[in-house]
Amino acid sequence: MSETGFSEEKKKRIAVGATVAAVLLILFLLSILIVQFVHIGVEKARERELIEQTEEYRRLIEEGEDNLDWYKSGNGLYLTARKYGWR
């Protein structure tokens, strides 16, 4: 027996156990990292999609305002009424 009370066999077992625990911890942390990267990618794609939708709605609002101004004008009302059968 050695001075610390552990035999060589026991020291080797402890070293192997610590190595296995460290490898498992690293694998676990890597899997969490991969999941987080995938999550970030999905969120970025969603953000791009929402930005595109926002830009589309802004464009539609601007076009709608132009149409509203046209319909509010006398000429626009007259032409629209004529289009739908007013005489």
Q: What is the secondary structure of 15-61 as a DSSP string?
A: HHHHHHHHHHHHHHHHHHHHHHHHHHHHHHHHHHHHHHHHHHHHHHH
Instruction: Check residue 1 and give its pLDDT.
Output: 47
Q: Of 24, 17, 25, 19, nearest to 6 (Cα)?
A: 17
Q: Quick check: pTM over 0.75?
A: no
User: Mind listing the pLDDT tens digit for each residue in 20-66?
Assistant: 999 999 999 999 999 999 999 999 999 999 999 999 999 988 888 87
Structural domain boundaries of the chain? 8-83
Distant-in-sequence, close-in-space partners of 76: CB < 8 Å, separation ≥ 6: 70
Distant-in-sequence, close-in-space partners of 5: CB < 8 Å, separation ≥ 6: none
- Spatial separation of the C-alpha atoms in residues 49 and 78, rounded to whole Å: 40
* Greater pLDDT, 46 or 81: 46
